[in-house]
Amino acid sequence: MNLKLKALTKSIWVYHFACTPCNNCDIEILDLLTPRYDVERFGIQLVGSIRHADCLLVTGIPNRKTGEMLKRVYAQAPQPCLVVAIGSCALGKGVFRGSYNNVGFVDDYVPVSAYVPGCPPKPEALIAGVVKLLNKLKGG
């Protein structure tokens, strides 16, 4: 196993990229940092720069502006960078499916490692998605 991937299984730093969401998924991500869920005890920490992140959390749908920004942000991330698409919008455009400004799905712009469905997904589902991703990295 790659040394960087092995290190990810112990402590993962995430960067949140909001790709025109309705903000419900963003609130659930912030709920993970509260004392009730406290994901920092698992080594998961939200960082303010993609250059320090191991994982990119994407919420919402890429549109004409944010699609290209998503590509640039992913290019700035240290590789390998995991990408987690969060919410129904990131998975299949959700309630915004027929909108004129939608130009594609998240995985049309960046390679997605894991999907967490829901509108919005509960914090327990977000934690389960990250745990499944970490188990996948460990080979389990």
pLDDT digits (tens, 9 = 90+) for 24-34: 888 888 888 88
Q: Name the residue range of residue 21's domain.
A: 13-138
Structural domain includes residue 111: yes
Nearest CA-CA partner of 56 in 4, 119, 122, 107: 107
For the chain, how many structural domains are there in total?
A: 1
* φ, ψ for residue 122, nearest 5 deg: -70, 155
Q: What is the pTM of this model?
A: 0.87
Q: From residue 80, how far is each of 40, 48, 74 by CA, in Å?
A: 21, 18, 10
pLDDT tens-digit profile of 100-128?
778 888 888 999 988 998 888 898 898 88
Structural domain includes residue 8: no
Q: From residue 100, how far is each of 63, 97, 137 by CA, in Å?
A: 9, 9, 37
Structural domain includes residue 1: no
Structural domain includes residue 2: no
Instruction: Report yes or no: 3 and 33 within 8 Å, Cβ to Cβ.
Output: no
